[in-house]
Amino acid sequence: MVEAGGTLPVWVTLLSIKSRELANQRELAGMIGIQGATLTHHLNAMETQGLLIRRRDPENRRVHQVELTEAGEALFLKLRTAALAFDKRLRTGLSDDRLAEFAEVLATLRANVE
Question: What pTM did the predictor assign?
Answer: 0.78
Confidence at residue 78, expressed as pLDDT on a 0 to 100 scale: 96
pLDDT of residue 26: 79
The DSSP symbol for 114 reads: -
What torsion, rounded to 10 degrees, do the Cα atoms 81, 83, 86, 88 define? -70
Q: What was the pLDDT predicted at 22?
A: 60
For 13-39, the pLDDT digits (tens) are: 999 888 876 667 778 888 888 888 888
d(CA 25, CA 34): 11
**CB proximity list for 79: less than 8 A, separation 6 or greater:** 1, 4, 5, 6, 10, 11, 14
pLDDT of 64-109, one tens digit each?
A: 788 899 999 999 999 999 999 999 999 999 999 999 999 999 999 9
* Residue 62 confidence (pLDDT): 77
